[in-house]
Amino acid sequence: RFSHGGGAVQDRVVEMLGIGHLLQRRPAALSGGERQRVALGRAILSSPRLLLMDEPLAALDQARKDGILPYLERLRDETGLPILYVSHSAAEVARLANTIVLLRAGRVAASGPAAQILSDPATAPLLGPREVGAILSARIEAQEADGLTRLASAAGPLWLSRIDSATGAVLRLRILAQDVMIALDRPTGISALNVLAGVVRDLTPDDGAMLVRLEAGSQTLLARITTRSAQALALHPGKPVHAVLKAVSVAPGSIGSGSDPSISRHAPPARDSRSV
């Protein structure tokens, strides 16, 4: 157990991980997520030079994973401690990683900044068609009366289902390629709230479909559409298009705190693979 009176460092770790109310409880009385947070605290207080986390959330259900991910984000952002995080979960890696190394059969298949690797069509076979997507950095501008949160990003304004973070908070959004539609002209009379202007960067065939990489402002989006749709729209590199995204497409688990250093921070005003 932790003890009281461990000094300022211990107090900071206890506050960061939200475990103050657990200090007098025995290990057997802790839930799986609580045990993971206490284990993190003990590891940090040992003054490591690097933290190795090998699938730390694999044994937890989704609710407990969602509960501990914000603490891992704080650990990443507030301690300055290098973390080697090993996971099969693209969702976890997208929320936490700044740099990604994809391994296949024990060899490095791809490596680089998180936003670059996750939106690269070449990594789609490693991630799987339902996991490939892009990371956007956005800042909360307002909580609106109808339950939506308005955000500003370098790609354009976004509206998502309410996000429980303060105005001004910088977030990392994972946008799955399967949730992005493409239109040649800015559509009107549709229910989707998010329409982002962009330019086609490249097209990559992907298991009977087409991955279309778009440049929207200084950020990258990825759309997975049928080959027939790509042909009907006569898509080609350099063609102006609009990316369409429903507000409800971005699940709460795809929204994390902080931005990837590889993404522009200047928003305009208002698998058999293992990932590390």
Helix crossing, 62-79 with 7-17: angle to 10°?
140
User: What is the predicted pLDDT for the residue at 275?
Assistant: 45
| CB 148 within 8 Å of CB 159 | yes
Say if CB 271 and CB 117 are below 8 A apart. no
| pLDDT tens digits, 154-208 | 999 999 999 999 999 999 999 999 999 999 999 999 999 999 999 999 999 988 8
- pLDDT for 28 beyond 50: yes
pLDDT for 41 = 81
pLDDT of residue 15: 79
User: In the predicted model, is pLDDT for residue 268 greater than 60?
Assistant: no
Distance CA 161, CA 166 (A): 14
Strands (E), the chain: 51-54, 83-86, 99-104, 107-113, 133-143, 148-153, 158-161, 170-176, 181-183, 194-206, 209-216, 219-226, 240-245, 255-257, 274-275
Write the burial class of residue 231 (CB in 10 Å: 0-12 exposed, 13-18 middle, 19+ buried): exposed
Q: Is 95 exposed, middle or buried (0-12, 13-18, 19+ CB in 10 A)?
A: buried
pLDDT at 3 over 50: no
Q: Are residues 174 and 117 in contact, defined by beta-carbon separation less than 8 angstroms?
A: no
Domains, the chain, in order of start with CATH, read: 87-268 (2.40.50.100)
pLDDT over 70 percentage in the chain: 91
Is residue 66 predicted with pLDDT exceeding 60? yes
The answer on pLDDT for 265 being more than 70 is no
**pLDDT digit string (tens) for 83-114?**
999 999 988 999 999 999 999 999 999 999 99
What is the three-class DSSP state of 232?
A: helix
Q: How confident is the model at residue 232 (pLDDT cuts 50, 70, 90)?
A: very high
Pair 216, 240: CB distance under 8 Å? no
Residues of the chain above pLDDT 90, percent: 52
Residue range 45-62: average pLDDT?
85
Q: Are 126 and 273 in contact (CB under 8 A)?
A: yes
> How far, CA to CA in Å, does 227 sit from each of 19, 68, 123, 132, 220?
51, 40, 19, 17, 21
* Cα dist from 93 to 64, 97, 98, 128, 213, whole Å: 16, 5, 9, 14, 20
pTM over 0.75: yes
Q: Does the pLDDT value for residue 269 go beyond 70?
A: no
Under DSSP, is residue 103 helix (H, G, I), strand (E, B) or coil? strand
What is the amino acid identity at position 7?
Answer: G
188: left (phi over 0), alpha (psi -120 to 50) or beta: beta
Q: Can you tell me the distance from the alpha carbon of 265 to that of 269, in angstroms, rounded to the nearest whole number?
A: 12
Confidence of residue 151 (pLDDT cuts 50, 70, 90): very high
Tokens of 189: 């009379």
Q: Between the CA of residue 197 and those of 31, 92, 141, 183, what are the distances in Å?
A: 46, 28, 20, 10
Task: Look over the chain and give the mean of its residue pLDDT values, rounded to a whole number.
Answer: 86
pLDDT of 1 above 90: no
